[in-house]
Chains A and B, each alone.
Chain A
Amino acid sequence: MSDTTTLTSPAAPAGQAPGRSYRNYGSSLFRRIFVTREMAVIALLAIVIIVASVSVKNFASPITFSYLLLDTTPILLIALPMTLVIITGEIDLSVASMMGLSSVTVGTLTQAGWPIEVAFVVALVVGVIGGALNGFLITVVGLPSLAVTIGTLALYRGLAVGLLGTTAVTDFPKFWTDIAKAKFAATGIPVVIVPFIILAVVFAVLLHFTSFGRGIFAIGLSSEAAAFSGVHVERTKFILFMLTGVVSAFAGIYYTLRFGSARGDNATGLELSVIAAVLLGGVSIFGGRGALHGVIAGVLLIGVLGSALRLANVSSDVINIITGALLVLSVVSTSFLAWARKRRQRRGGTKKTAVSATAG
């Protein structure tokens, strides 16, 4: 928490960069926790669940949520490190390709007679190496992350498809494929939620309660200021890209076991679902703002919405339109309301702000 002084002074004048403010310690604890963008997403998620339970048949059953969790687990997993990367103002588009590469790694090694546990470890190492390559090109060579990860998106996917071709490896030990699909008896909660919860806690502590996490926000707000105040900008980014790599590889292993099929085109396009959910969860694409509980709610919101609409026999195209519109709306609303606020400010009326200032 020692770095907070560098964070509360925004680099840009008020009103010009609405996305770049950090938490307002001038207002009460209640307001800081409950009146936030993250809470808005969580409230929206609750509303969607309630409305869907009432109006969509078959929605309000445990099986809906057990399918939902099984289907969204890869997105939930990758969204964790992706949040950290986006808060630093960078982006990683290669995550889904890394999943494919990890899936193919597990597949080819199992096919070649290696024990599957060793194949898992190798796949995770491939994830670390792939992430490190991204990190190297971005921090050491100094290329923009968008360009680098578009390149590695193609590279990792190409390697994955090249290794296995159009064939699929489908023989995996039943023990492991059963674990990937297992549920805690009666509750319908999939077992795979356990590693997710562990990772979620680790990442939440890392981001919100360590000086490393403060550094992440500092980099997103202004990497120069962060560097001058002692944050290892390059090292932090490098570690974050390695984390997205290894978590993507883990998600790839899960994906392989869940569907019992290792293919080069596994998880194609998943990176966009991850990034969409992260942005919907209130993380600023410009960096410097975001929180993990909002992101998790964002992933679940997209998942619940899709699940409810599918149950309501809405076609997949319309579901895409609705999710897309929701995302655009959430981004546009921020800018639109900032503009509206500026207009109101010009006419005066600062009473409320004055009150909250004394309250802090």
Chain B
Amino acid sequence: MLFHNTRPTRRALRAGAIGAMAVSVALVAAGCATTSSTPAASGAATGGSGNYAITFVPKNLGNAYFDASDKGGAAAITEFGGKYSEVGPATASPDAQVSFINTLTQQQVGGIVISANDPKAIGDSLNEARAAGIKVVTFDSDTDPSYRDIFINQASPEGIAKSQVDQIASQIGDTGEIAILSASANATNQNAWIDLMKADLAKDHPNIKLDEVVYGDDDDQTSFDKTAALLQSHPDLKGIISPTTVGIAAAARYLSTSSSKGKVALTGLGTPNQMRAYIADGTVTSFALWNPADLGYLAAYADKALIDGTITGKSGDKFTAGKLGSFTVGDKGTVLLGDPTVFNKANIDQFNF
């Protein structure tokens, strides 16, 4: 029994010693890596003095959309000679970004460009960062306006609606019956776009008749079934607009295996990775979405302008963003990226998200 009892203590010591050694090695290695790789962080602490150490904080790491947007940001930061870095949580839970923002405050970076997981939860830590002189730009997904300096909005509702109407009009020769496959019946964004599309159709495309709006509830199977039903109930249908990434992919999947392939046009909002196969086999001619790389690029330049003190985020401020040209800050500190990018056979291979 005494054998049994005395030994765990020595065992514990050894376990501790091995663990301590491993951790010390890891920390020393990490510490060395830091001192050599982040000279910029030690630079100017308060804003307005050219500290171009800008960190991108996506909703989560390993997300193709944010990989693309952050790459755009990195390109912009390289152009103006700043220091780009990217940190973020492994999962997109509401509070997960907080500890990363706090760390950036301690490191005294110049700017943070963030896509918020929650409009409120990260607010206090962002305000602490701003109190320390860090300029905060949100993109893709905004916080309450009181927590950031500028929000980069990917696209305006008018731009999205017009882009889709224009595409379907050119694909069906500006005449014939069309239908819309939307998300759920009470989806705020989609309903706003559909109203604008109806207005645009009535005004500029009198020969196009909108037969029906159906709702696939952003569910793959439902959207697939609704597409099948549309084609049966409207035999003269010439085109479908699906302003939701789930809907357009499901509709394309149905069309690609049906006899209507190539006869019924399909466009809408989709991601290149989802739609690549359907562009390749001719089911879909073109579709649209904002370009995340441009979004990141613009966000980085907006942060630079804030760091420089060129703009403060109030309505009417103007700044230039490299190859994208000049932008004006709108209401509530919002900057609009512009019209969505149209993807087709010629350019789709340049995008990966």
Contacts and interface: CB of A to CB of B under 8 A. Distances in A.
B119 A170 contact: yes
Q: Is the interface of B mostly helix, strand, loop or mixed?
A: helix
Given A64-B106, A334-B15, A352-B6, A313 B91 contact: no
A312 B30 contact: yes
Interface in A333-353: 333-334, 337-338, 341, 345, 350, 352-353
Interface string B29-49: 011111101100110000000
Interface stretch (B92-100, B152-160, B207-215, B225-233): B92-100
Nearest to B121: A259
Contact of A307 (B2, B35, B103, B108): B103
Contacts, number: 210
Contacts of B108: 58
A150 interface: no
B6 A48 contact: no
Interface string B62-89: 0000000000000000000000010111
Interface string A317-338: 1001010011001100110011
A128 interface: no
A35 B13 contact: yes
B19 interface: yes
B5 A26 contact: yes
Interface stretch (B20-28, B169-177, B302-310): B20-28
B102 interface: yes
Contacts of B99: 67, 71, 306-307, 310
B323 interface: no
Where chain A touches its partner, the secondary structure class is helix
A64 to B, nearest CB: 7
Contacts of A4: none
A259 B2 contact: no
Contacts of A63: 106
A310 B103 contact: yes
Given A260-B123, A311-B106, A316-B89, A341 B11 contact: yes
A24 B6 contact: yes
B26 A322 contact: yes
Classify chain A: how many residues form its interface, as a range. Answer: 35 or more
Given A36-B9, A44-B23, A317-B90, A56 B106 contact: no
B172 to A, nearest CB: 36
5 contacts: A21-B4, A309-B26, A310-B99, A312-B27, A312-B31
Interface of A: 8-10, 14-15, 18, 21, 24, 26-27, 31, 35-37, 39-41, 43-44, 47-48, 51-52, 54-58, 61, 63-64, 67, 71, 168, 170, 181, 255, 259-261, 263, 265-269, 282, 305-317, 320, 322, 325-326, 329-330, 333-334, 337-338, 341, 345, 350, 352-353, 356-357
